[in-house]
Structure 1
Amino acid sequence: MKKISKGLFLSIIIALIATLLGNFFPIIGSAVFAIILGLVINNTLRIPADFQPGIKFSSKKILQASIVLLGFSLSIQDIKSTGLSSLSVTIVTITVAFISALLIGKWLKIPTNTKVLIGVGTAICGGSAIAAVSPIVEADDDEIALSISTIFLFNIVAVFLFPFLGHLMNLSDAGFGLWAGTAINDTSSVVAAGYSYSEAAGDHATIVKLTRATLIIPISLIIAGIQVYKKKHLAEKVSLKQIFPWFILWFLVASLVSSSGILPEAFIAAAKWLSRFMIAMALGSIGLSANLIALLKTGKKPVLLGLATWFLVAVSSLLVQFFQGQL
């Protein structure tokens, strides 16, 4: 605990300030303020190395815990209906992401592993998907770092750009939630963009994103199958325990318990507030981890690939919703 205390305390301070600012400016929200504060602090001050374990813990474990707590405020019926209704859009956007990454990457003459990692990061769940797939394709450290930096750059942009575009297009809460949940790369950025649009949009986007995240299993197995076909010795690289986002199961358990009616309203309200506060902690820590100068120096071709793939995914999500009458 002592190892993570400094970074954890800093993320709590950022979350407190962000929550206060979010109360004064609800149209922006605490999540966006948290990531802005983290970015400003990290890119203007030198954060000591002993803060990093706590910052990393907050950006990963606290985020997952906040999603679990969010489950207490969502009924299992809503999760089921929203998740199922989003599947068609999710499958289309995942397909578009992979085809775009491979074809555009080939045109840009980007190495195969980098194309695959940027494709899977855009298609499923950002850095988590890249981390799951990288050992399967035997990516080296440079390929992993380059892919994660590219995806992370557009995660940051999405937090600010998507709510603005959503209001510009006058999207409904459900329409924006489905768009954000299928077109923004990382769970943290989906949550930030969703709740800055509206509370209903945030709930919807979170469910859609978690549904999308579970597809890392079949995608990883397909990629592993291709790799095994090419190189027989890679079969042992795939581990369900490593690739499955287990916190989603606890999110469902929390929703089931809440839907049973045994929990008092005061507990559910407290869990929801704590979830939002912990989301602010996690996003503040993500901001504290982002070196804007380093991100801007990321290779031009991978950034161009990430931008093109992300743009096509965002457009395809809107088009599918439009033709299905979901906007």
Structure 2
Amino acid sequence: MENSVQTVENKSLPFLEVNKFYQQVIFGLLVLVCLSGFVSPPVALLLGLIVANVSGHPFLHLNAKTINILLQLAVVGLGFGMNVNSALSAGKEGFLFTIASIVSTLVLGSLLGKWFDIENKTSHLISCGTAICGGSAIAAIAPVIKADEKQTSVALGVIFILNSIALFLFPAVGHLLELSQQDFGLWCAIAIHDTSSVVGAANNYGAEALQIATTVKLARALWIIPVALITSVLFKNKSSKIKIPYFIGLFILAMIMNTYIPQTALVSPYLVAVAKIGLTVTLFLIGAGLSRGVLQSVGIKPLLQGVLLWVFIAVATLGSVMYFN
């Protein structure tokens, strides 16, 4: 999962030409606001978007690595608030949904890519990002198919734009349809691309939704490995190393400790609280990386592929969850 989020080159200037010092002050103050614990993940994302397009991100070169580290630490911290038995139950329920959605998304993505005449590697990266776990999947697959910087950046741009929309849209739809905590957690784990937005949306919906969504999403992330292996065969590249999301093991260890070591209960609430704040800051940083340059670099055809794939998986999963549950 290292370097799972890459920064798209920002060639457009922010709306205001702010002195570098004041740019850093504004950015630092907003980070402190997100660290306060009084800002929800969607609001943090919105603040990041405002910074990206109004004053600019003063530390854009550090954004990708910081997002990766914070997200992984946040996910591990959330494990201290979860029970192994409940997680296994959620994982079993989401297993069939996961397989069906990954296969159908990859097949449909390939067809859409050919229909829109999108460059093959870009199309495959968008499909993998939608099918598995967003930016992490793209980062794992990109070296396997020897994608260049532009192909990777376009795919990441599509995924992060849709992730930002999902963070606001999914909880609203869930409440409108009166989805249960269980149904919403399963739905957003499968239908939202990136782990950060899945956890952010589920956290807004409720504690049970958060547990189910996090467990199912991380189990889904493990599918990076077989998909990367199949991809290496399809693209005839057997020499590339596959990035394995090792931090998921730490998440599982945290759940085991929380379930079977009573003393962990003394610190678990604090670790979970810190993890949620870390997630909030992560989403602020993701928003801060979505400048006009990112939006302009994507292009209409790749965006259409991403949108259609996303609508397909969201509607199909929602219908399945409501029908079978």
Q: TM-score, normalised by structure 1?
A: 0.87
Which position in structure 1 is the counterpart of 2:300?
300
Partners of 2:295 and 2:213 in 1: CA distance: 26
- Aligned partner of residue 237 in structure 1, secondary structure: coil
- Establish whether residue 39 from structure 1 lines up as the match of residue 39 from structure 2: no
Partners of 1:264 and 1:222 in 2: CA distance: 40
Q: How does 1:56-95 map to 2 (within 5 A)?
A: 56-95=64-103
Aligned-pair CA distance for 1:293: 5.5
Aligned-pair CA distance for 1:65: 0.3
Which position in structure 2 is the counterpart of 1:104?
112
- Establish whether residue 157 from structure 1 lines up as the match of residue 165 from structure 2: yes
Aligned-pair CA distance for 1:273: 0.8
Is the Cα–Cα contact under 8 Å of residues 224 and 238 in structure 1 kept in the other structure? no
Which position in structure 1 is the counterpart of 2:274?
274
User: Deviation per CA, 1:259-292, whole angstroms, max 9, x where unpaired?
Assistant: 1133243311111111111111111111111114
- Aligned partner of residue 235 in structure 1, secondary structure: coil
Which position in structure 2 is the counterpart of 1:26?
none
Q: Name the amino acid aligned to 1:35.
A: L
Partners of 1:142 and 1:54 in 2: CA distance: 19
Q: Name the amino acid aligned to 2:214.
A: T
- Establish whether residue 236 from structure 1 lines up as the match of residue 239 from structure 2: yes
- The two structures, once aligned, show a CA RMSD in angstroms of 2.0
Is the Cα–Cα contact under 8 Å of residues 221 and 238 in structure 1 kept in the other structure? no
Aligned-pair CA distance for 1:163: 0.8
Distance 1:270 1:168, change over 3 A: same
* Aligned counterpart for 2:38 among listed residues 20, 25, 28: 20
Is the Cα–Cα contact under 8 Å of residues 94 and 124 in structure 1 kept in the other structure? yes
**Structure 1: segments with no counterpart, 5+ residues:** 22-29, 229-233
Q: Which has the higher helix share?
A: 1
Partners of 1:6 and 1:127 in 2: CA distance: 29
User: Deviation per CA, 1:60-117, whole angstroms, max 9, x where unpaired?
Assistant: 1011001101111101111211111101111111112111111111111112111111
**Structure 2: segments with no counterpart, 5+ residues:** 1-23
Aligned-pair CA distance for 1:294: 3.2
User: Deviation per CA, 1:203-253, whole angstroms, max 9, x where unpaired?
Assistant: 22111111111111111111112223xxxxx211133xxx21111100001
Aligned-pair CA distance for 1:47: 3.0
Which position in structure 2 is the counterpart of 1:204?
212
Is the Cα–Cα contact under 8 Å of residues 14 and 38 in structure 1 kept in the other structure? no
Partners of 1:108 and 1:190 in 2: CA distance: 28
Is the Cα–Cα contact under 8 Å of residues 48 and 284 in structure 2 kept in the other structure? yes
Aligned-pair CA distance for 1:199: 2.4
Which position in structure 2 is the counterpart of 1:138?
146
Which position in structure 2 is the counterpart of 1:289?
289
